[in-house]
Amino acid sequence: MQICRRVGDIRTAVAGFRAGGARVGLVPTMGALHAGHMALVAEARGICDRVVVTIFVNPTQFGAGADLAAYPRREAQDIAMLEGAGVDAVFIPEVGDIYPEGDETVVETTRLARLFHGAVRPGHFRGVATVVTKLLNITAPDHAFFGEKDYQQLAVIRRMARDLFLPVAVHGVPTLRDADGLALSSRNIRLAPADRAAAPVLNRALDLAEAAARSGATVEDMLAVIRAAVARETRARLRGCDAVWADSFTPATGPVTRRLGLMISAEFGAADDPVLLIDQREITPQGG
Ligand code: PAF
């Protein structure tokens, strides 16, 4: 596996792959890799001849506060995992390589970035869209792979790739979960034991909402079911609870007549150093 730290080095590596006629797949990550990331790599391996992974904790998608500094970093372990998974090249830039002195250009999906999770974390999706555009431009892949857990992020990236005519196929990969239902996330290792025990409430709340949908519940009923379930878990502080029509990513109301996306986010742990976890579920209309 080639380990590249400079833009020029990863470009040379990818040019080498392309010279051999390979289809290149990109898996962008912020490191602290877990089985969910490896599922993205496996998906990329299945579709592409060569797989490139990026590890970059992107400062522009973090809000003010401690979350960026607290984000887990485990480079040696990440490299070993990627090597074991047969990845062809990993790009591990410094902040100054991605945002050189004088950098002033941003990419923003002007509607999507401000809704839902974006309203709770202003600027977050602009940071994501900007860094993903840079990483796509640097590595020029044919295919790029993202987790479905970050449901709104995936919608933002799909929209931006479409709007900017980016020559890449964007793939969503289903969420991997621990045995108790907690969605795998690099942030899970920051949870204190009691919060780790409480965190599966997100998946349980989504299960209850899905069961309600099967009994004919409206979107409003389902959101109430989620709020009530999370409220019963005193260690969780609900930050966001939203429903969107999956085809348009517009707010959903009333009966479930089309594919629906439910998104929740909640904080655990100390109020001055919280761990923010998110989860999502797609609901297909009955008989659909
Ligand atoms: O999902 C993530 O890990 C990040 O948001 C991404 C897509 C790598 C951009 O920094």
Rounded Cα distance, 119 and 242, in Å: 11
Residues 199 and 168 both lie in one domain: no
Residue 179 placed within a domain: no
Query: Cβ contacts of residue 110 below 8 Å, gap of 6+?
Result: none
Q: Side chain identity at 241, as an amino acid letter?
A: C
Please give the pLDDT value at position 66. 63
Q: How far is the CA of 169 from the centre of ligand 1 (A)?
A: 17
What pLDDT sits at residue 67? 79
Residue 244, classified by CB atoms within 10 Å of its CB into exposed (0-12), middle (13-18) or buried (19+), is buried
* Residue 180 included in any domain: no
26 with 93, same domain: the answer is yes
Residue 124 and residue 211 share a domain: no
Give the end of a domain, one of 173, 199, 220: 173
Structural domain contains residue 287: no
Residues 110, 57 share a domain: yes
- Which one of 150, 173, 196 terminates a domain? 173
Q: Do 151 and 274 belong together in one domain?
A: no
Residue 218 C-alpha to ligand 1 middle, in angstroms? 32
My answer on whether 10 and 138 are in the same domain is yes
Instruction: Say which CATH number the domain at 232 has.
Output: 3.30.1300.10
Residue 233 has pLDDT above 70, yes or no: yes
Question: For position 288, what pLDDT does the model report?
Answer: 63
**What was the pLDDT predicted at 70?**
87
Number of domains in the chain: 2
Residues 41 and 93 reside in one and the same domain: yes
The verdict on 134 and 219 lying in the same domain is no
SS (H, E, C) 175-193: CCECCCCCECCHHHHHCCH
Query: Which CATH number do you get for residue 168?
Result: 3.40.50.620
124 is catalytic: no
Average pLDDT over residues 268-276: 93
Average pLDDT estimate for 259-266? 97
Provide the mean pLDDT of the chain.
96
User: Is 80 exceeded by the pLDDT of residue 159?
Assistant: yes
Residues 144 and 191 in one domain: no
Number of neighbouring beta carbons within 10 Å of residue 22? 16
Share of the chain above pLDDT 90, in %: 94
> How far apart are alpha carbons 288 and 278 in whole angstroms?
26
pLDDT tens track for 83-97: 999 999 999 999 999
Average pLDDT for residues 253-276, to the nearest whole number? Answer: 96
Q: Which two three-digit tokens encode residue 126?
A: 């602009």
Reported confidence tier of residue 286, pLDDT bands at 50, 70, 90: confident
Which amino acid residue places its CA nearest to atom 9 of ligand 1? 128
Closest CA to 59 of 27, 36, 91, 30: 30
246-277 per-residue burial string, b: 16 or more CB within 10 A, e: under 16 = beebeebeeebeeebbbbbbbbbbeeeebbbb
The pTM for the full model equals 0.95
Query: 9 lies in which domain range?
Result: 2-173
Whether 227 and 160 map to the same domain: the answer is no
Report pLDDT digits (tens) over 19-67. Answer: 999 999 999 999 999 999 999 999 999 999 999 999 999 999 998 776 7
Same domain, 156 and 248: no
**C-alpha 153 to ligand 1 mean position (Å):** 8
Q: Give residue for tokens 């992974």.
A: 53
In the numeric block, which tokens belong to residue 194?
């009691």
In 10 A of CB 25, how many CB atoms? 29
Length of the chain: 288
Whether pLDDT at 127 is above 90: yes
The angle subtended at Cα 232 by Cα 227 and Cα 234, nearest 5°, is 110
DSSP line for 58-87: -GGGS-SSSHHHHS---HHHHHHHHHHTT-
In-domain check, residue 51: yes
pLDDT tens across 187-216, in order? 999 999 999 999 999 999 999 999 999 999
What is the distance, to the nearest Å, from the Cα of residue 120 to the centroid of all Cα atoms in its chain?
Answer: 16
In a domain, 273, yes or no: yes
d(CA 117, CA 265): 8
Of 27, 54, 58, which is best to mutate to test ligand 1, by the most ligand atoms within 8 angstroms of its C-beta?
58
Does residue 153 fall inside a structural domain? yes
